[in-house]
Structure 1
Amino acid sequence: MVLSLVFLLLRSNKKIKYPPGPRPLPILGNLHQLPRRDTWRTLKSWHDRFGPIITVWMGSRPMVILGSFECAKDLLEKRPFIYSSRPSYLTDGIGSDALVVGLPYGNRWRKHRFLLNTLLSRTRCEDYIKSQDLECKQLLWELLWTNDFAYQFHRFAASLSFSLAYGQRMERGDESEVQEVDRLMRQMSDKVFLPGVAFPLLNYLPQWLAPWKKTAAWLQETQARFFTHQMQKALSQSVKTWSHIVHEVARNRREVSFNELEMAHVVGVTYEAGSDTTAFVLETFVLVAVLQRPAVVRAQIELDKVVGCHRMPALCDLPQLPYLQAFVREVLRWRPVVPGGLHHCTSQDDEYLEYQIPAGTTVIPNHWSLEYDESVFPNPHSFQPERWIDNPKLPTCAFGMGRRACPGRHLAQNSLYLVISRMLWAYDIRCVGRPPDSFAMTQGISSRPRPFAVRFHPRSHRHQSIIETEYRRHSSSRT
């Protein structure tokens, strides 16, 4: 009976003029053609063959994939009232129906987004530079004694986010709070493509026949308990944190009601998201540093000219560092941290380029296809910061597009500019053994380079002395 219903569903969908794509099989759709690794690269090859907007059948579910900035802008930015929602299955994938990233477009999403914008506006992020400076100086000091850069990047990002959210630094990186979020993120990374995504009828199975439902329920309960506990703990202390700010704003917005669980999830998502993505981009920077020496040398020459060897670079130096800014933007493009993009959902029927996109259709901007669009980025596989200097208005999807763009982009950009400029200023980064494969990336929602070994050599005794002096000075003054 189930197979008969799927067959009827496929037959009814054939009447709709979806965008082109690889020929699907009954029931399976295109699942048999999608590799287990680097799916985003396969999608790019299909865009090259079928065009910038294609349909891929995940079992019985059609997914419209966007493979050019032109299409992504036309739909996600120019028609946001249609393309700003999320598919219902995403809440199971992220383990919560209260995290803003999975909320459908509507009043509840606007409430959460208002609070996030209050915490993470460009102006508000200037208040966080002191914390970023402290965490960055500890990071530079620790790289004098260890080459485990992935661990130290994760500590940096987790400590920054947790201290801003809850008032407690993660000075070691192995604290129980960090481990708990790592456990949650590992569960999430594999759960977006649930069986019910490809075969929605499976969602009607009882929980004992659908173990993914049990995992989703565990994620929801665990996240809610963790976020609520950490917020209550932060509110009992005098140090002003995101938890305090959210409560103050919610109390003053009497025309909009916020319950405790919603506020806890607004603060929690900032920590959860910030503890991984920034660290992954910094790992990509190290990959660039060992494989793209000419670009590294040029950035170091610019830093030496502007900053010298008597102090570390600061964010206020950025206007005088155009190549450094271009370098960071190219790191974000060259290996996108969310290569497959996040899932959007249409809230009403639409037509585009003579194709039909019904209400409830999943629409995904494939970031790999966008960032490797030859019409926008000639020779896209080449690492060329100069392209951003020649055309500062080049598009980017590093932080998403449209109304669902990442609200933490200003904080993340400040962290990236600060850490990358200081690491280039402080260290020569050399590969140990064979050069890493630049395409060897991990799988999941977010992607990072697979492990490889490097050594960090201070560029001079003077650079090392400044790193040590600055770390000691901030260590003695922090609370």
Structure 2
Amino acid sequence: MLSYSEIGLAATAIGSSVYLYHRGQGTKKRLPPSPPGSYPFIGHALVLPNEQEHLVYNKWSKELNSDIISLTAAGQTIIVLDSVEAANELLDRRSKIYSDRPQLRVIADPDLLDWGSNTGSAPYGPRWKKQRRITHEVLKPSANARNFELFEKETYAMLKRLATDPNEFWNEFRRTVAGEILLTVYGYTVEDTRDPFVQDNATAVEKFSLAAIPGNFMVNFIPWLKYVPEWFPGAQWKRNIKDWRRLKDRVSSAPYNWTKAQIASGSAAPSMVKTYLTSIENDSQCDPVDEEDHLSWAASTIFGGAADTTHASLMCFVLLMARHPEIQARAQKEIDRITNSERLPEINDRESMPYVRRIVQEVLRWQPPLPMGFPHATTEDDEYRGYFIPKGSIVMSNIWSMTRNESVYASPETFDPDRFLDPESPSAPLFGFGRRSCPGNHYAEASLFIMFASMLAAFDIKPKTNPITGKEEIPEPAVKVNALVSHVSPFECSIKPRSNVHKELINSA
């Protein structure tokens, strides 16, 4: 929720003529139902959530008995979709006018974060299409063989480290996930959990996720606020943005420049960046400066987008296994039947391990990494069910709410992999809708499968035992969302090799 100092600045910034214009425009046609809390000049700015968005929007949708609701903030229309049906109709079937991204001022403005050139934020057009083609090179099915080999290599190395010291498993998970992507995209090998590329990326993704929520920064609705000096009361956000921009510049360029230096020295490992730079050198018709700009942004977008969401799902998996020993034991039995405890799982085992695959599906449903997805924007006026959706509207999908639809998922708060035995039970719509859907769904699911299966094959994951009482302390399934990505709250657990046989298996992998 916006601070009063920000609201004061906003009121100063908006003239009554602008307010009356937008108000007049909005009353000509009927917008979708709106929650209470709208005021002159600022609209719903006082009630826009900046944490647990998915819960607030779901509550409003229920109260309004509508799977499409609208809000306004200083003339900006925000549409929230609460059902798969509405999202499919608008973002998929009408993708021609729903495939843009809102150019949130705090992200896109060259004087602020200047982060609007990355693939995820770029407007729908030639720039985005070019970067999408580049990312396809690392995510396409024909690249799977090399990707899968890297997944297995990094996962097995993670098992060895966890067998030695499982105490900071969350850092090992982040190192492993980042290591897979850095090796694939840049040819860079992560040596430890303190790697600067890994740490900088984690921080940058956190800050970008905060910036990507429209209601977190009033400057998204009031352009004048960008001129407020940093020392002005309520302008701490300006100082934050200045620091975040320096971090963004470092994350966007450092791994890329490292790869270029490796290529120049003749010691570069295979990678997406190396392959594409070679193709640029061999193409006399292209503009190398322009091509490198696209490549640099596409590479950093893959790194930032995949690392944090995969890490969030891996943490959620461990939490749920510690809470559900019966599900863990059943998965281990399936794995043992295939491997005979003589080897670790491989990607090619997926078809033989349907229960583990269902665990992957259910972890992703139970805690969608992006509970509100990534916002779209309309490029034309539209009408849906008699409601007017103006050009330039921000359109968000409440993916979390879709995973809690009781008519689709019975007892939705229950963690139950067997719900996917029912062919009528669809996978959760985690990767978005329409032309802006994430192209890395197969990449992500394969990465999660090998990590989940390998962890289950090698370790028993249990609640931590209280050293004083001797009782297990079952971790609470708490999830906190104050940015794009949802994370389970910090927790402790026990991760130990299942037996000496399994310990030897880990060490020999």
TM more than 0.5:
yes
Letter in 2 for 1:13: G
Counterpart in 1 of 2:161?
142
1:25 aligns with 2:38: yes
Q: Which amino acid aligns with 2:43?
A: G
Residue 169 (str. 1) matches residue 189 (str. 2) = yes
2:275 pairs with 1:245: yes
Counterpart position of 1:91: 108
Quick check: 70-79 or 236-245, which moved more? 236-245
Q: Distance in 2 between matches of 1:120 and 1:355?
A: 38
For the pair 1:455 / 2:485, whether they are aligned, the reply is no
Given the alignment of the two structures, is residue 230 of structure 1 paired with residue 258 of structure 2, yes or no?
Answer: yes
Counterpart mapping for 1:71-82 below 5 A:
71-82=86-97
Q: Which runs of 4+ in 1 moved over 6 A?
A: 252-256
2-side partners of 1:85 and 1:14: how far apart? 25
In structure 2, the partner of 1:300 is: 332
2:368 counterpart (306, 328, 336): 336
Q: Secondary structure at the match of 1:398?
A: coil
| Inter-partner Cα distance in structure 2 for 1:457 and 1:392 | 37
Higher mean Cα deviation, 97-106 or 295-304? Answer: 295-304
Tell me how far 1:437 sits from its aligned partner.
2.5
2:134 aligned with 1:130: no
Determine if the alignment matches structure 1 residue 366 to structure 2 residue 378.
Answer: no
SS in structure 1 at match of 2:488: coil
The residue type paired with residue 460 of structure 1 is S
Counterpart CA distance in 2 for 1:58 and 1:378 is 36
1:253 and 1:110 map into 2 onto residues whose CA distance is 19
Q: Indicate the residue corresponding to 1:473 in structure 2.
A: none
Distance 1:95 1:430, change over 3 A: farther
Q: 2:53 aligns with which of 39, 44, 48?
A: 39
Q: 1:237-274 CA distances to partner (integer Å, 9 max, x unpaired)?
A: 34221111222444567776543222111112222222
Does residue 469 in structure 1 map to residue 508 in structure 2? yes
Q: What secondary structure does 2:28 align onto?
A: coil
Map of 1:477 onto structure 2: none
Match of 1:109 in 2: 128
- CA deviation string 1:60-103 (max 9, x = no partner): 42210111111111111111111111011153597512211001
Q: Shift in Å at residue 195 of structure 1?
A: 2.7
Residue number in structure 2 paired with 1:200 = 222
Shift of 1:442: 4.5
Aligned-pair CA distance for 1:356: 0.9
Q: Which amino acid aligns with 1:125?
A: N
Q: Distance in 2 between matches of 1:68 and 1:339?
A: 13
Unpaired segments of 5 or more residues in structure 2?
A: 1-11, 467-472
**Greater CA deviation, 205-214 or 420-429?**
205-214
Aligned amino acid, residue 156 of structure 2: K
How many correspondences in the alignment? 470
Which AA in structure 1 matches 2:273?
S
Question: Closer, same or farther in 2 for the Cα pair 1:391/1:252, shift >3 Å?
Answer: farther
Distance across 1 between alignment mates of 2:120 and 2:253: 19
The answer to whether 1:7 aligns with 2:19 is yes
Aligned residue number for residue 474 of structure 1:
none
Aligned-partner Cα distance in 1 for 2:92–2:446: 25
C-alpha deviation, 1:349, in angstroms: 1.1
Larger mean Cα displacement after TM superposition, 341-350 or 183-192? 183-192
Q: CA deviation at 1:4?
A: 1.5
SS of structure 2 residue aligned to 1:444: coil
Q: Mean alpha-carbon deviation: is it higher for 105-114 or for 232-241?
A: 232-241
Q: 2: distance between equivalents of 1:72 and 1:414?
A: 26
Q: Bigger CA drift: 210-219 or 265-274? A: 210-219
Residue matched to 1:16: 29
Matched, 1:154 2:182: no
More moved, 131-140 vs 400-409 = 400-409
Deviation at 1:203, TM superposition (A): 5.0
CA contact (8 A) 1:158 1:275 kept: yes
Q: Which deviates more from structure 2 when the two are superposed, residues 223-232 or residues 54-63?
A: 223-232
Name the counterpart of 2:8: none
Structure 2 counterpart of 1:55, from 50, 57, 70: 70
Distance in structure 1 (CA, Å) of the matches to 2:393 and 2:195? 41
Cα 1:226–1:168 shift into 2, 3 Å: closer
Q: Distance between the aligned counterparts of 1:414 and 1:156, measured in 2?
A: 14
* 1:178 to 2:179 alignment: no
Q: Displacement of 1:47 after TM fit?
A: 1.9
CA distance in 2, matches of 1:84, 1:58: 22
Q: Which residue number in structure 1 is paired with residue 81 of structure 2?
A: 66
Structure 2-normalised TM-score? 0.86
Structural RMSD (CA): 2.4
Larger displacement relative to structure 2 (409-418 or 3-12): 3-12
Report SS of the residue matched to 1:101.
coil
Cα distance in 2 between the residues matched to 1:94 and 1:314: 42
Change in CA separation of 1:431 and 1:196 when aligned onto 2, cut-off 3 Å: same
Quick one: distance in 2 between partners of 1:283 and 1:35?
Answer: 25
Counterpart residue number, 2:476:
437
